Amino acid sequence: MRPALVVPVALFAVVAVALAVGLGLKPREIPSALIGQPVPAFALDPVENFGPGLSNEDLRGQVTIVNVFASWCVPCRAEHQLWVDVAKTGLPIFGLNYKDTPANASAWLAQLGNPYQRTGADRQGRVGIDFGVYGVPETFVIDHNGIIQLKFIGPVDRVALETQILPKVRALQALVQPAPAR
């Protein structure tokens, strides 16, 4: 056997190992540089009639969810009912209305229901950029210190809600509330 003839099979072995490792990786999960960072400073007026407004100060003191939405965003419509349902449990959900017109945003919330305790109208998308938003919808879980703990890109479905977002919220809430005295 000539050594040169082994080269193709050896190269393929390297590729195969990389592919095997690659199977365990998740290229779609893009790590957000903002995880573990405090939320950017901002203060926004509410979407008309769906106040009060939203600022970074409102994201302290309790575990909150910030949901970035827009009336022009079709997947937002798909996930919206889920947030309306979650809001009934009393979990504070804040809405960041991204690059939207006031009239459209109001009409949208009036029609589909308002799950948000506070809303912020980010008409120019500046706050969205500070949050690292690059596609709507996106959802952030923020702890009581105002630190971003989880970022979810794309529409949330029930599975993602039950397996990723709510467990994170509960874990953070458990950290905040001191264990009851025995």
Partner 1 sequence: MVAELGHFALIVAFVIAAVQATVPLVGAHRGDDNWIAVARPAALTQFLMAAVAFFALMWCFVHSDFSVYAVYNSSHSLKPLVYKIAGVWGNHEGSLLLWILILSGFGAAVAAFGNNLPPALKARVLSVQGMIGVGFLAFILFTSNPFARVFPAPEEGMGLNPLLQDFGLAIHPPFLYLGYVGFSMAFSFAVAALIEGRVDPAWARWVRPWTLAAWCFLTVGITLGSWWAYYELGWGGFWFWDPVENASFMPWLAGTALLHSAIVVERRDTLKAWTILLAILTFSLSLLGTFIVRSGVLTSVHAFATDPARGLFILAFLVAVIGGSLALFAVRAPALKPGGLFAPVSREGALVLNNLLLATACATVLLGTLYPLFLDALTGDKVSVGPPFFQATFVPIMLPLLGAMVVGPMLPWKRADLGPALERLRFTFIAAGFAGLVVYALVSGTSLTAAGGIALATWIILGGMTPLAQRVFRRGAGGADRLRALPRSAVGMSLAHAGIGVVVLGLTALLTWQTEKDQVLRVGQSMDVAGYTLTLRSVGPHPGANYIASRAVFDVAKGGAVIKTALPEKRAYVDSTQVTTEAAIEPTLFGDLYVVLGDADGTGGYAIRAYFKPFVHLLWLGAALMVLGGVVSLSDRRHRVGAPAKSRTPGAAVAAPPARAAT
Name the residues that contact partner 1, by CB under 8 A.
1-2, 5-6, 8-9, 12-13, 15-16, 18-25, 27-28, 30-31, 72, 74-75, 77-78, 101, 103-104
| CB nearer partner 1, residue 1 or residue 159 | 1
* Least distance CB 179 / partner 1 (angstroms): 35
* Least distance CB 125 / partner 1 (angstroms): 14
* Least distance CB 27 / partner 1 (angstroms): 4
Q: How far is CA 46 from CA 10, 57, 115, 141, 145, in A?
A: 62, 15, 14, 20, 23
| CB nearer partner 1, residue 62 or residue 101 | 101
Residues 144, 61 contacting (CB under 8 angstroms): yes
Q: Which of 93, 84, 88 is nearest to 169 (CA)?
A: 93
Q: What span, in angstroms and rounded, lies between the C-alpha atoms of 141 and 65?
A: 5
| CB nearer partner 1, residue 17 or residue 175 | 17
| CB nearer partner 1, residue 19 or residue 179 | 19
* Least distance CB 138 / partner 1 (angstroms): 16
Place of tokens 């939203």: 54
| Amino acid at residue number 104 | N
| CB nearer partner 1, residue 159 or residue 181 | 159
Residue 22: is it exposed, middle or buried by C-beta count within 10 angstroms (0-12/13-18/19+)?
exposed
* Least distance CB 74 / partner 1 (angstroms): 4
Q: What span, in angstroms and rounded, lies between the C-alpha atoms of 94 and 169?
A: 14
Q: How far is CA 156 from CA 9, 18, 31, 73, 135, in A?
A: 44, 31, 18, 13, 13
